A = this chain, B = another copy of it.
Amino acid sequence: MSKLLIVGSVAFDAIETPFGKTDKILGGAAPYIALSASQFDIESAIISIIGDDFPEEYLEMLRSRNVDTSAIERVEGGKTFFWRGKYHNDMNSRDTLETQLNVLGDFNPIVPDAYKNVDIVMLGNLHPLVQLGVLEQMTTKPKLAVLDTMNFWMDNALEDLKKVIAHVDVITINDEEARQLSGEYSLVKAARVIEDMGPAYIVIKKGEHGAFLFHKGQVFFAPALPLEEVFDPTGAGDTFAGGFTGYLAKTEDLSFENMKKAIIHASNLASFSVEKFGTERMQHLEKEEVQKRLYQFKELTQFEIELS
């Protein structure tokens, strides 16, 4: 079993969907990633930054899941990153109503000594130079560095983004971002262009339409489980990333065949995340539920066809 090092925002979110709205609740990429990865009973650590308004109980909840929170810097007199957003009726698009960067604006990540030689690093969505800064502090090159990013950095820090992309093994982005980054509409072509930028594995997420894993001309696809209702899509991509890296940390097998399994586990966990507001569903997720839904994934996708 490998340790998993997670870099990402820790935040307050205020979310409005057609089903209701929340006050400030636990948000940010890192808690979603860590909660999802914790389903595999691994050890992980979060590198992040918070203000003194951040409740200790959230950190305790994470620690109770074997998440080392000692590298989450608490800034006295500072305020935690805050995002407020509203989803449209189709749940596929949202408006950002408010963003307060707060302490995240001066985030200078410091990798704890105990995590400078971990095998797997998950770089959650942040400024590319922050992501790169983490990689540069590693004393041993990780066996697997996974990068999540978004169109905001393509618009505002493309050269920095390309630098960090050149240093990672896996990139996870959504279909529109893959098109923007590559300049290709076809996802097959887009993946090839992005592979040439550095990463050997390209994960293209299509939300409710599933996710592709591209690698050297091979391709694997996992659908999203069709749900009665999507309640709150916030954090689905981070939950996916946490499931993907958590499973790989647990199994220590970085073959393409095992990455297929990781993608299925990732999709499975993401399907739970969207069923309640924020991290609520992931905080109370039972192993039996996860297993049951994995069985549904098999039923959904597996078939027998004789090839001549």
In the assembled complex, how far is the CB of residue A303 from the closest CB belonging to chain B, in whole angstroms?
5
A97 within 8 A of B: no
**CB pair B300 A186 closer than 8 Å:** no
Q: Which residues of B contact A301 (CB under 8 A)?
A: 220-221, 301-303
**CB pair B298 A185 closer than 8 Å:** no
Interface stretch (choices A123-131, A152-160, A206-214): A206-214
Closest to A300 in B: B221
Within 8 A of B (CB), among A253-295: 257, 260-261, 264-265, 291, 294-295
Residue of B187, B218, B226, B265 touching A219 (CB-CB under 8 A): B226
Q: How large is the interface on A (under 10, 10 to 19, 20 to 34, 35 or more residues)?
A: 35 or more
Q: Which 9 A-B pairs have the closest CB atoms?
A: A209-B209, A260-B303, A221-B223, A188-B226, A188-B228, A221-B300, A301-B301, A261-B305, A295-B307
In the assembled complex, how far is the CB of residue A211 from the closest CB belonging to chain B, in whole angstroms?
11
A93 within 8 A of B: no
A76 within 8 A of B: no
**CB pair B264 A300 closer than 8 Å:** no
Q: Which residues of B contact A223 (CB under 8 A)?
A: 210, 221, 223
A227 within 8 A of B: yes
Residues of A within 8 A of B (CB): 89-90, 185-189, 206, 209-210, 212, 218-221, 223, 226-230, 257, 260-261, 264-265, 291, 294-295, 297-305, 307-308
**CB pair B264 A303 closer than 8 Å:** yes
In the assembled complex, how far is the CB of residue A39 from the closest CB belonging to chain B, in whole angstroms?
13
**CB pair B307 A228 closer than 8 Å:** no
Q: Which residues of B contact A188 (CB under 8 A)?
A: 226-228
* 5 chain-A/chain-B pairs, Cβ below 8 angstroms: A206-B209, A291-B307, A298-B307, A301-B303, A302-B302
In the assembled complex, how far is the CB of residue A137 from the closest CB belonging to chain B, in whole angstroms?
35
In the assembled complex, how far is the CB of residue A31 from the closest CB belonging to chain B, in whole angstroms?
26
CA of A131 to CA of B300 in the docked complex: distance in angstroms?
31
**CB pair B187 A226 closer than 8 Å:** yes
CA of A304 to CA of B218 in the docked complex: distance in angstroms?
17
Q: Which residues of B contact A299 (CB under 8 A)?
A: 218-220
Q: What 11 new A-B contacts, CB under 8 Å, besides A206-B209, A261-B304?
A: A90-B185, A189-B228, A189-B229, A209-B209, A210-B223, A218-B299, A220-B300, A221-B223, A221-B300, A297-B305, A301-B302
